[in-house]
Structure 1
Amino acid sequence: MTHSSMRGVFAVSTTPFTPDGAQDLAMYARSIERVLAAGVDGVLALGATGEALALTDSEREAQIRHLITTVDGRVPVVVGCMAYRPHEVSALITQAAELGASAAMVTPPFYGGLAAADAVAALSPVLATSELPVMVYNNPHSTGVDLLPADLVPLLEHEAFWSVKETSGEATRIRELRGALGDGVEVFVGADGLALEGFTQGANGWVAASSWLTPARCVELWRQAREGDWSAAVQSWDRLAGPLGQIEADPAFISLIKRALGELGLAQGAVRTPLPTASDDAVTTLVATLQEMGEEH
């Protein structure tokens, strides 16, 4: 699978749990089929929305296996490979490759408060040895370091450098990344609340947690923007901006997504501690908006 074939809307999966707290792989498969039927271009698993750091090693492996089997080659599968030390990240990438993933997503080492140059230095050996194309996830809110376009340029020496998921929230960052990195690296919108803004700047796709909730609407917006139908895209954005903004602004956004999915008939169970639980009012507001948009039980 070539880099250029991995574009468009990548739905970011949750990890559903049963009432007793076990991973619910049957519900996971149902959720995958739902987003595939809506036309998403890929699935990204084991990111923050998927509660990756709350899973055991065996749960992680079981989820990847189930995802690969369920998707069955219909779209690319990206697996989050996040750990503190570079060799641990590389080991996760090797596992994902052996299980059949299409690509890996990595972050800079989190918590350490690294300077950008040190963060890139930690990523470089990971990309140098990766068996898979790599998406570098710029998420300064979680990692404590904002990787500017110029900071990422040294990674261009690595053939595995496939893409950037950009979540800084800076309004012009997509355009700046495309200018600095050229046509050989795909740039994905990662901040759902800036999706349309990113599309106008030439983003190659959208890694969208919101598309696990409302996949058809997210796919529709992306297709309209890609085809240059900006009038229709603005109308679609007017419908989507409210719920996407609510999700992004809520500190309990993972719980909010999962609880809303439960109200739509896809029971997800609770988030694992220490993640916070979304309020009843927030869930009610989001579900009402989604139902107005056509999402049904």
Structure 2
Amino acid sequence: MNQQTMRGVFAVPTTPFHDDGSQNIDGLVAGVDRVLQAGVSGILALGATGEALALSSQEREAQVRAVVEAAAGRAHVVVGCMAYAPSDVSDLVARAKEWGADAAMVTPPFYGGLEPDSAVAALHSIMSVAELPVMVYNNPHSTGTDLQPEHLATLLDTETFWSVKETSGGAARVRELRAELGDEVEVFVGADGIALEGFTQGASGWVAASAWLLPDQCQRLWELSRDGNWVEAVDLWNRLASPLGKIEDSPAFISLIKQTLSRRGAEQGPVRSPLPTAPPEVVEALLASIGELERSPANV
């Protein structure tokens, strides 16, 4: 697929499990079909929301191959390639290409408190040999390293630098990235709570765990923003604020999404240990919030 067309909403799947703890590939494929019907542009498999680090290498391969087959060219497939050693990340990127992915998402080494210069040096070694377009995931909350625009600019000469998934939460960070990186690199909002703010600053799209749960509304918000229909976009954003806020604020957000999907008919099974399980009252609150969203005049 043309790298220049990889924009829009990229939904991040959960990983459904059977009662015996095995991966539920049929449930995953059903989820892919569901979000693609909403018109999302891509699927980001093996993200944190998908419990990627809790899966075996065989499970990861099975998942990516199933997502690629289910997408069947209807959407771009990006694969999360997360490991500590740069050589291991490079191996994961090579496997993602073998499995049919369109791009890879990589993070800086996520242990050891690396300074940004060391983190981007590790990324540079990965991206210089990558055979797929690369999305760099800036997630200082998880990695301990906040890659500023000037750090990311040092990766431009790798020729594989496709995009940034920006999750620092900085109010002006998308604008700052645009100013530093120009049009050569796409900038995706990665924090659901500031999606609209990112769109107003010229974000290329949205990598959204919430789009796995609410694909129609997330896709609609992107389309309204993309087309400059800001009055309608703000109205929808205000109605989305309650469910998205409940997801963003929960330390057990993966379990929260999975339990909510299960209650809405898409059985997910539990999260794998050591991830926390969302308490019943939090699930009920999110379900009520989604019900209110879906009953609002714009959705009936």
Aligned residue number for residue 50 of structure 1: 50
Aligned residue number for residue 253 of structure 1: 253
Aligned residue number for residue 21 of structure 1: 21
Between the aligned partners of 1:198 and 1:189, the Cα distance in structure 2 is: 6
Secondary structure of the equivalent of 1:285? helix
Aligned residue number for residue 98 of structure 2: 98
Secondary structure of the equivalent of 1:49? helix
Which AA in structure 2 matches 1:18? Answer: H
Aligned residue number for residue 85 of structure 1: 85
Between the aligned partners of 1:132 and 1:291, the Cα distance in structure 2 is: 40
1:131-170 to structure 2, matched below 5 A, reads 131-170=131-170
Between the aligned partners of 1:254 and 1:71, the Cα distance in structure 2 is: 23
Deviation at 1:290, TM superposition (A): 1.3
1:192-271 to structure 2, matched below 5 A, reads 192-271=192-271
Deviation at 1:151, TM superposition (A): 0.8
Secondary structure of the equivalent of 1:146? coil
Deviation at 1:75, TM superposition (A): 0.7
Gap runs ≥5 in structure 2: none
> Per-residue displacement from partner, 1:132-176 (whole Å, max 9, x unpaired)?
000000000000000000111110001100000000011100000
Aligned residue number for residue 109 of structure 1: 109
Between the aligned partners of 2:144 and 2:151, the Cα distance in structure 1 is: 15
1:175-194 to structure 2, matched below 5 A, reads 175-194=175-194
Which AA in structure 2 matches 1:123? Answer: L
Between the aligned partners of 2:170 and 2:188, the Cα distance in structure 1 is: 14
Between the aligned partners of 2:265 and 2:288, the Cα distance in structure 1 is: 14
* TM-score (norm: length of structure 1): 0.98
> Per-residue displacement from partner, 1:15-49 (whole Å, max 9, x unpaired)?
00011110000000111100000111100010100
Deviation at 1:279, TM superposition (A): 1.0
> Per-residue displacement from partner, 1:164-197 (whole Å, max 9, x unpaired)?
0000011100000010011010000000000000
Between the aligned partners of 2:22 and 2:54, the Cα distance in structure 1 is: 12
Between the aligned partners of 1:3 and 1:180, the Cα distance in structure 2 is: 20
Which AA in structure 1 matches 2:66? Answer: H
Secondary structure of the equivalent of 1:109? coil
Which AA in structure 1 matches 2:31? Answer: S
Which AA in structure 2 matches 1:202? Answer: G
Which AA in structure 2 matches 1:185? Answer: V
1:71 and 2:71 are equivalent in the alignment: yes
Secondary structure of the equivalent of 2:128? helix
Aligned residue number for residue 293 of structure 1: 293
Between the aligned partners of 1:186 and 1:166, the Cα distance in structure 2 is: 10
Which AA in structure 2 matches 1:98? Answer: E
Deviation at 1:292, TM superposition (A): 2.3
Between the aligned partners of 2:251 and 2:53, the Cα distance in structure 1 is: 17
Between the aligned partners of 1:119 and 1:2, the Cα distance in structure 2 is: 28
Between the aligned partners of 1:294 and 1:40, the Cα distance in structure 2 is: 19
Which AA in structure 1 matches 2:89? Answer: V
Between the aligned partners of 2:69 and 2:254, the Cα distance in structure 1 is: 25
* TM-score (norm: length of structure 2): 0.97
Deviation at 1:291, TM superposition (A): 2.1
> Per-residue displacement from partner, 1:103-126 (whole Å, max 9, x unpaired)?
000000001110000000000011
Which AA in structure 2 matches 1:14? Answer: T
Between the aligned partners of 2:291 and 2:19, the Cα distance in structure 1 is: 25
Equivalent residue pairs, number: 296
Between the aligned partners of 1:126 and 1:102, the Cα distance in structure 2 is: 17
Deviation at 1:242, TM superposition (A): 1.1
Deviation at 1:293, TM superposition (A): 2.4
Deviation at 1:294, TM superposition (A): 2.6
Between the aligned partners of 2:30 and 2:166, the Cα distance in structure 1 is: 29
Residue identity (%): 61
Q: Once superposed, which parts of structure 1, at least 4 consecutive aligned residues long, lie more than 4 Å away?
A: none
Between the aligned partners of 1:240 and 1:19, the Cα distance in structure 2 is: 32
Between the aligned partners of 1:227 and 1:262, the Cα distance in structure 2 is: 34
Between the aligned partners of 2:31 and 2:62, the Cα distance in structure 1 is: 16
Secondary structure of the equivalent of 1:39? coil
> Per-residue displacement from partner, 1:68-96 (whole Å, max 9, x unpaired)?
11111111000000000001000000001
